[in-house]
Amino acid sequence: MLKTLLLSALVALAMSTRGTGAAPPVPVIVELFTSEGCWDCPPADDVLEQFVSAQPIGGVEIIGLGEHVDYWDRLGWKDRFSSARLTDRQQIYQARFNTESIYTPQMVVDGRAQLVGSDASAARRAVERSAAAEHASATLRIDSESDRAIAVTVTVAGVQRPGRGDRADVQLAITEDAVVTEVKRGENHGRTLTHAAVVRSMTAIGQVAADGTATAHAEIPLGGDWRRDRLKAVAFVQEQRSRAIVASAAAPVQAAPR
């Protein structure tokens, strides 16, 4: 019931705030560090799911990245989506934001702000602030697809030069929506959890040149158990030291050709 009410409220808010102009929405990356072994995480998973599905902020495209960390795996339930690389990514954010420790659920908005992932109001404010900041242009094209991989091209323009000693990298993630797990042990024992935008892979595929442009090509393998009709390719440009995400784009992965 709570989940249904949240969706209804977000949809109503989206309808009341979306403008009628032709300007494309500003893409904003919302990362959620989460775990199926964490009792506090399902409400944050719901917030991310509703943000991605309802798109409640006019003029903004919220692009979700559900990043399952692995430090809960030793506490009774191994999250099948967990990754040490995603834990490492969160630890880099810890240094950036100078938090006491890494924690779940943590939400990071465009690499610019961090907050408790279940706080929908704070998340909305952070998204609005980030959308108001300057963003460069990014386009993502899926060139070819097979049962085992997709080939993509990411084109970037207008990236401002990072601070001294910094650089901007082009990252590509594959996410899967509407993933369901029946948790058998741990803090969420007996619960059926649904996740949005689960990060299946994340890879650095290029670097922005001094003139603020980049063209990156990559072939990304796909897991045999990934649902093709629920996959998205997500490209974003992130400054390595400041961690600010300055451009992003997403596109659905189509069904494999027959």
Has residue 8 been placed in a domain?
no
> Any idea which of 19-28, 112-121, 134-143 has the lowest mean pLDDT?
19-28
The total number of structural domains that make up the chain: 1
pLDDT (tens digit, 9 = 90+) per residue, 159-203? 999 988 899 999 999 999 999 999 999 999 999 999 999 999 999
Has residue 83 been placed in a domain?
yes
- Taking a C-beta distance cutoff of 8 angstroms, is the pair 145, 254 a contact? yes
pLDDT at 258 > cutoff 60: no
Question: Of the candidates 177, 178, 193, which has an alpha carbon nearest to the alpha carbon of residue 40?
Answer: 193
Percent of the chain with pLDDT over 90: 86
What is the structure's pLDDT at 200?
98
What is the structure's pLDDT at 5?
46
Has residue 13 been placed in a domain?
no
pLDDT at 7 > cutoff 80: no
Domain that residue 135 falls in: 26-252
Has residue 14 been placed in a domain?
no
Question: Of the candidates 195, 169, 143, which has an alpha carbon nearest to the alpha carbon of residue 247?
Answer: 169
- Taking a C-beta distance cutoff of 8 angstroms, is the pair 233, 164 a contact? no
Has residue 93 been placed in a domain?
yes
Please tell me the distance from the alpha carbon of residue 180 to that of residue 170, in angstroms, as a whole number.
30
Phi, psi of 11 (to 5 degrees): -65, -45
Report the length, in residues, of the chain: 258
Q: Which helix (H) or strand (E) holds 116?
A: strand 113-116
Question: Of the candidates 133, 152, 144, which has an alpha carbon nearest to the alpha carbon of residue 216?
Answer: 152
Has residue 153 been placed in a domain?
yes
Q: What integer is the mean pLDDT of 65-70?
A: 98
pLDDT (tens digit, 9 = 90+) per residue, 209-224? 999 999 999 999 999 9
Please tell me the distance from the alpha carbon of residue 95 to that of residue 140, in angstroms, as a whole number.
30
Task: Give 254's pLDDT tier (boundaries 50, 70, 90).
Answer: confident
What are the angstrom distances between the C-alpha of 128 and each of 56, 101, 203, 221? 11, 26, 27, 34
| Interior angle at CA 67, CA 213 and CA 123, nearest 5 | 80
Please tell me the distance from the alpha carbon of residue 91 to that of residue 85, in angstroms, as a whole number.
10
Has residue 166 been placed in a domain?
yes
- Taking a C-beta distance cutoff of 8 angstroms, is the pair 72, 102 a contact? no
Q: Bridge partners of 26?
A: 60
What is the structure's pLDDT at 165?
85
pLDDT at 9 > cutoff 50: no
What is the structure's pLDDT at 147?
83
Has residue 17 been placed in a domain?
no
pLDDT (tens digit, 9 = 90+) per residue, 79-107? 999 999 999 999 999 999 999 999 999 99
Q: Give the count of beta carbons closer than 10 Å to the beta carbon of residue 3.
A: 13
